[in-house]
Amino acid sequence: MIWGGFGEVLLRIVVLLLRSGQRVGIRGECEVVLGHAGGVVRGERQRHLVEANHDVWMVLKALGELCDSIDERHRAEEVLKAQRTLQRVAGLRPIGELVKPCVDILLGQLVHDHTPLPSRQIRRPQTNRCNIAAPVPMTNRISRLAPSPTGALHLGNARTFLINWALARNEGWRLIMRLEDLDGPRIKAEAAEQVLDILGWLGLDHDGDVMVQSHDLDPYRRVMHILAERGLIYACSLTRKEIVAAASAPHAPSPGEHELRFSPELRPTVPMPRLFQSEETNYRFYTRPETVRIEDAFAGAVDHRPFDEVGDFVVWTKRATPAYQLAVVVDDARQGVTDVIRGDDLLRSAARQTLLYRALDLPVPRFWHLPLILGPDGRRLAKRHGDTRLETYRRAGVGPERIIGLLASWSGVIGCPAEMSAEDFRNRFELDRLSADPVMFSEVDHAWLLGG
């Protein structure tokens, strides 16, 4: 039953409230538990809370109010407010009937003493938002492999996925697979199966079933309604050509850039209805002139200003699908992802995604942005550098051990390329030996793969 896991999360939150000796950072810890409630529910083979019905959102709101009532003190009025919140939760239907026994126990505990209640512990992942010592081992972290079937995987993708896989397996994280197939015309029907096949060929496994974004768009629609109700998005029918024409020269993209800054001068001049109405219209997220700091686990602290860099960015497209920035936030939240490992070309996206996490009252996952593989011209490895697809090398008779051997030499595992399995890579991989500098793919590397 889904509410078994939810009742336990509720129980855990109040246990945190009662730890009078650990007041510093308690709100952040409560938010972590709330944000990863989906991990508990998912473990019971049920839907994540983000996908549940309106009553669940009411409960989350009530619990959010409970978190907001916590400060550095543990006063009687806080206990009273906690009691009122729990009583309100117990009064909800049908949720109240399912969690009422738990609520009754909690209310009694609040009244009579301040000792933690016995319960099956929820293992909470470590995040950069929680600054207090956790009494439970932080082993229930979750990462994901999230390829986009817009084409076959190339060597650059492969190294990022291999490092993600090795780190997750070495640290005991759960590793899930998600196919991000919402990129409209760029999606290729046969690419999805090929991506999964080639990752298996390399020796990279994952936990649980594969999630495919396009199979269910309702979670994204629900989040759009929330953002609209909060006045954080607006419909925008302007085309790229119109934006270029309307923007002043400094806002125009530089040669080779794909992103165009959307100036605040282009926002609607009349108040917009707080509704998500037409799915066949672009919707943009309001940005403010603020700095967003990303405490990256690999790249270190990085500051970005989405307002200056991209302006109001698209969260829903006129193709009636969510944009990448929104989709990845919703998916990582509902899958309980705690650690996002990807190429550092997405560092700017991390800032935009952080704004969305905050707007939705969701905990921000820990980001690990890794250096890219570049072509001889110093640009990100792509078609312009020739055919570096793994499938092409496989058809040429190159084995997975040879691919991984080259990737290992790029990852600080070995000095020169030498054949090895994914398991060998995992056993020898150490993150602190990974260079922060990008790697240059050369003709020498290509020749080595082919047996030269």
Highest mean pLDDT among 66-70, 181-185, 220-224, 373-377: 220-224
Give the integer Cα–Cα distance in Å for 179 and 162.
Answer: 16
- pLDDT above 70 (res 414): yes
* Domains of the chain: total: 3
Q: What angle do CA 5, 10, 16 make, to 5 degrees?
A: 125
Q: Which of 86, 112, 138 is the last residue of a domain?
A: 112
Please say whether the beta carbons of 436 and 369 come within 8 A: no
Q: Are residues 246 and 177 in the same domain?
A: no
pLDDT band at residue 259, thresholds of 50, 70 and 90? Answer: confident
Give the integer Cα–Cα distance in Å for 296 and 129.
Answer: 12
Please say whether the beta carbons of 382 and 258 come within 8 A: no
- pLDDT above 80 (res 130): no
Q: Per the structure block, which two tokens stand in for 195?
A: 């991506």
87 is a domain residue = yes
pLDDT band at residue 243, thresholds of 50, 70 and 90? Answer: confident
Give the integer Cα–Cα distance in Å for 21 and 209.
Answer: 41
The answer, yes or no, to whether the previous bond of 417 is cis (omega within 30 of 0) is: no
Lookup result for tokens 């011209």: 377
Provide the CATH number for the domain around residue 318.
3.40.50.620
Lowest mean pLDDT among 7-16, 96-105, 107-116, 142-151: 107-116
pLDDT band at residue 124, thresholds of 50, 70 and 90? Answer: very low
Please say whether the beta carbons of 162 and 358 come within 8 A: no
pTM of the shown model: 0.68
Give the integer Cα–Cα distance in Å for 274 and 277.
Answer: 9
Q: Are residues 200 and 233 in the same domain?
A: no
Average pLDDT over residues 226-255: 76
Q: Are residues 317 and 299 in the same domain?
A: yes
Helix H or strand E encompassing 449: helix 443-449
Average pLDDT over residues 289-316: 96
Q: Per the structure block, which two tokens stand in for 104?
A: 């009754």
Q: Looking at 69-142, list the stretches that DSSP marks H as alpha helix, in order from N- to C-terminal side.
A: 76-91, 95-112
Q: What is the DSSP letter of 289?
A: S
- The CA-based diameter of the chain, rounded to the nearest angstrom, is 76
Please say whether the beta carbons of 137 and 151 come within 8 A: no
CA end-to-end distance (rounded Å), the chain? 58
Helix H or strand E encompassing 378: none
Position 91 scores a pLDDT of: 56
Phi/psi of residue 11, nearest 5 degrees: -60, -45
Q: Per the structure block, which two tokens stand in for 67?
A: 């978190």
Q: Are residues 291 and 198 in the same domain?
A: no
DSSP E strand boundaries for 37-182: 142-145, 174-179
Q: Are residues 33 and 100 in the same domain?
A: yes
Q: Are residues 414 and 441 in the same domain?
A: yes
Q: Are residues 327 and 421 in the same domain?
A: no
324 is a domain residue = yes
Higher-pLDDT residue of 417 and 247 is 417
254 is a domain residue = yes
117 is a domain residue = no
Give the integer Cα–Cα distance in Å for 178 and 204.
Answer: 14
Higher-pLDDT residue of 184 and 207 is 207
Position 13 scores a pLDDT of: 58
| Digit-coded pLDDT (tens) for 60-109 | 555 555 544 443 334 445 555 565 666 565 555 444 444 445 545 454 44
Average pLDDT over residues 115-122: 30
> What are the CA-CA distances from residue 332 to residues 259, 347, 405 (Å)?
24, 16, 31
Query: 10 Å Cβ neighbour count for 114?
Result: 13
pLDDT band at residue 270, thresholds of 50, 70 and 90? Answer: confident
pLDDT band at residue 350, thresholds of 50, 70 and 90? Answer: very high
359 is a domain residue = no
Q: If 0-12 CB within 10 Å is exposed, 13-18 middle and 19+ buried, where does residue 215 land?
A: exposed
Average pLDDT over residues 126-137: 30
28 is a domain residue = yes
Position 81 scores a pLDDT of: 58
163 is a domain residue = yes
Position 50 scores a pLDDT of: 42
Q: Are residues 317 and 396 in the same domain?
A: no
- Residues near 380 by Cβ (< 8 Å), separated by ≥ 6? 156, 345, 372, 373, 374
Position 25 scores a pLDDT of: 44
Q: Which of 56, 91, 112 is the last residue of a domain?
A: 112
Q: Are residues 12 and 25 in the same domain?
A: yes
- pLDDT above 60 (res 437): yes
> What are the CA-CA distances from residue 117 to residues 38, 84, 102 (Å)?
22, 19, 11
Highest mean pLDDT among 71-75, 194-198, 367-371: 367-371
Q: Per the structure block, which two tokens stand in for 165?
A: 């896989």
The answer, yes or no, to whether the previous bond of 185 is cis (omega within 30 of 0) is: no
Q: Are residues 35 and 104 in the same domain?
A: yes
Q: Which of 66, 86, 112 is the last residue of a domain?
A: 112
126 is a domain residue = no
Position 380 scores a pLDDT of: 78
For residue 440, the SS3 value is strand
Per-chain mean pLDDT for the chain: 76
Q: Are residues 322 and 423 in the same domain?
A: no
Position 14 scores a pLDDT of: 52
Please say whether the beta carbons of 248 and 294 come within 8 A: no
Domain residues for 327?
218-337
Q: Are residues 396 and 314 in the same domain?
A: no
Burial 66-86 (b: 16+ CB within 10 A, else e): bbebbeeebeeebbebbeebb
- pLDDT above 90 (res 327): yes
